Amino acid sequence: MTTLGASIFSTDISTALHPEMTSLFWNQRRNPILKRLAVSTEQLASTATTVTSKTTPKRNFVEKESSEAAASSTATAVKSKTTSTGTTYLSEESEGNRKSLKDYFDEAKDMIKADGAPPRWFSPLECGSHSPDAPLLLFLPGIDGVGVGLTRQHQRLGKIFDVWSLHIPVKDRTSFAGLVQLIERTIRSEHNHSPNKPIYLVGESLGACFALAVAARNPHIDLVLVLSNPATSFSMSVLQSTISLLEFIPGQMTLTLCHILSSMTGDPLKMAIDNVVKGISVPPTIQDLSTYLSVLADILPNETLLWKLELLKSASAYANARLHSVKAQTLILYSGKDQMMPSEEEGQRLSRELPNCQTRRFDDNGHFLLLEEGVDLVTIIKGAGYYRRGKCINYVSDFIPLTTTEFNKFCEEIRLRSDLTSPVMLSTLEDGKIVADLSGIPSEGPVLYVGYHNLLGLEAFPMVQQFMIQRNVLVRCVAHPMFFESKDGGLPDFEGNDTLRIIGGVPASAVNLYKLLSSKSHVMLHPGGMREALHRKGEEYKLFWPESSEFVRMSSTFGAKIIPFGAVGEDDIAQIVLDYNDQMKIPFLKSQIEEMNKRVVKLRTDITGEVANQPVHLPLPIPKIPGRFYYYFGKPIETKGRKQELRDRKKSQKLYLQVKGEVENCIAYLKEKRQNDPYRNILPRLIYQATHGFRAQVPTFEL
């Protein structure tokens, strides 16, 4: 139940670009790997001097062709780094390359200079390091239309997506229908080129309406929509009321731009506090805000702003009228402090209207969510379980290793649990010696950790954390499928689900276990499943395992080491007051449990007995004065070279019972030894940490 080589984009000069695609140029000083740019033959003569000039325009974008137009072009081979899924190292992030709101305005200013061309796609150079099988991500901008609204996300997005952004020039007056057709031509061309890959449409505000319109018109194409504060609520926004005022009151234009700018810069007081705490750059000065307002006025002069507002009105009406036709997988991001549109109410409404939809709420953010500090689109997509390279998600090959930021956030989320329980980790060396750390854990996989599931799976996350800290090994948790399903068949969205997906959780199935072991992963398995994690009163530390050996022969197929382990401590931190039997006697709770279990995915439907009795419910525990968690990992059991031997059912069953017996021995050992731990209770631990530092490791019993 529990609860990771840069490539170069270059292309030969094409003579067959789509009409909507014209050349863009990069600032070569920002990225020295630029080799060639795609330009149309009409522009070649007029721009050749510009390309070779020392004063290259400050644009870090390269024009993109659809596959249809690029078929005759020769692209450089793409190389990417591969990461072992056995010992998984944290992906390092470059703090110095993180962009700010100032970068958005600098890049927007460059993009709108002397630009009379039609709308077209471009790709940031910093998004050029993706692997060959990376799915395409099309960014559809908001009211600004510039296309650099993902500038703070480019570095990470570019590692897992082929990113294209739509640029709508300031003076362009292409209709809503024309822009939808442009997007459609691209996705149809790319779908024909790679029919087994999904295409991601990331739409911000106005762009979200474009994404919904395209999805409604192309239900046969595998699209994944990520919509940030969709402008489908335009009729109820403050911008709706400004259209008539802008036509007759020139001074209203400045007020409107100031309102848009305030939505970009967010809450100044919150920003100032966050920046001081994080030790990063100070918030925008008055001079900065004046510069931003000037650039915004260039992006949205009077006529353009009026045009964009009318475009918003048309786009919102069109998208709302066709929501019933949208079948695409959709993720809606909405802000709790959006001053431009009622995004929170709209996000909840769209969630009810769209059949395949999840939402994520950002309490303290404004309308331009993707430009704000601390918002990481890759982490959001990973947490929702929306990243895939094929028709269906592959939880092994599609897994993206944690970054240091993600791991630190994970540690912060479970900090209270870890601090209150001060986990003790014991492992066994090859000679049988027990040590008070994880040095007995193998570095290389495949390794299968088989153990008892504590109440509500409370032991899982601290275990994953300590394995990363002490051994730099990521343990993949095998969990019930309901944690990975959305709406029907799953649990309501909550933060713990996202965390489980981000740290590499995998739905329980024989196929997924096979994939994990074949990729030499470290895997955590609880044969007792929900029956142990949702046990009844008085059943603490009682194993509810199937009679047959579910995992032994599969482990031997890949020569995996099996490490039995015990984890105790649930009885030290909580006591069940209402278990399943109690709740089934209360009519209201009984009906809720029965209704939930009609929707939830059923496991082990082919077996009988107590282990098959796994109805989903939530035991009601009351907390105790916090005790301590203890983990004991027994001596690894080798299966390498025993594949033929363990094909014999009797021998396989014998090893299975041996593992089960070792788990029971580990639990018994911990229950006995913790009686002699002078720091089992929280008060002695607090006193120890007060004198030795609150990050100091608290001692335990003698081994």
Tell me, letter by letter, the H, E, C secondary structure of 271-323. HHHHHHHHCCCCCCCHHHHHHHHHHHHHHCCHHHHHHHHHHHHHHHHHHHHCH
pLDDT exceeds 70 at position 523: yes
In a domain, 33, yes or no: no
Q: What percent of the chain has pLDDT over 70?
A: 77
Together in a domain, 553 and 632: yes
- Report pLDDT for 191: 97
In a domain, 407, yes or no: no
Instruction: Give pLDDT tens digits for 28-81.
Output: 333 322 222 233 323 323 333 232 333 333 445 566 665 545 443 333 333 333
CATH number at residue 341: 3.40.50.1820
In a domain, 189, yes or no: yes
Together in a domain, 495 and 613: yes
Together in a domain, 587 and 540: yes
Q: What is the mean pLDDT of residues 580-609?
A: 85
AA letter at 106:
D
Q: Place 16 in a pLDDT band, splitting at 50, 70 and 90.
A: very low
Query: How many structural domains comprise the chain?
Result: 2
Range of the domain at 175: 41-72+98-384
Q: Mean pLDDT highest for which of 73-87, 92-106, 398-412, 477-491?
A: 398-412
- Three-class SS state of 11: coil
Together in a domain, 372 and 495: no
In a domain, 408, yes or no: no
- What tokens does 82 get? 């591969």
Q: Place 604 in a pLDDT band, splitting at 50, 70 and 90.
A: confident
Q: Which of the pair, 101 or 350, is modelled with greater confidence?
A: 350
Q: Place 224 in a pLDDT band, splitting at 50, 70 and 90.
A: very high
Contact 511, 395 (CB under 8 A): no
Q: What is the rounded distance in angstroms from the CA atom of residue 509 to the CA atom of residue 604?
A: 10
Together in a domain, 159 and 65: yes
pLDDT exceeds 60 at position 497: yes
Q: Which of the pair, 293 or 273, is modelled with greater confidence?
A: 293
Burial 385-419 (b: 16+ CB within 10 A, else e): bbbbbeeebebbebbbbbbebbbebbeebbeebbe
Together in a domain, 152 and 284: yes
pLDDT exceeds 70 at position 261: no
Q: Lowest-confidence range among 74-88, 114-128, 216-230, 328-342?
A: 74-88
Q: Place 486 in a pLDDT band, splitting at 50, 70 and 90.
A: low
- Report pLDDT for 302: 82
Q: What pTM value is reported for the model?
A: 0.84
Together in a domain, 472 and 561: yes
Q: Which of the pair, 276 or 325, is modelled with greater confidence?
A: 325
Together in a domain, 218 and 302: yes
Q: What is the rounded distance in angstroms from the CA atom of residue 241 to the CA atom of residue 230?
A: 18
Together in a domain, 339 and 276: yes
Together in a domain, 490 and 357: no
Instruction: Give pLDDT tens digits for 351-361.
Output: 999 999 999 99
Q: What is the rounded distance in angstroms from the CA atom of residue 551 to the CA atom of residue 565?
A: 15
Q: What is the mean pLDDT of the chain?
A: 81
Q: How far apart are the first and last CA of the chain?
A: 31
In a domain, 109, yes or no: yes
Pairing of strands 561-568, 630-633: antiparallel
Together in a domain, 490 and 599: yes
Q: Lowest-confidence range among 61-65, 91-95, 327-331, 410-414?
A: 91-95
Together in a domain, 497 and 551: yes
Instruction: Give pLDDT tens digits for 147-168.
Output: 999 999 999 999 999 999 999 9
pLDDT exceeds 50 at position 618: yes
Length of the chain: 703
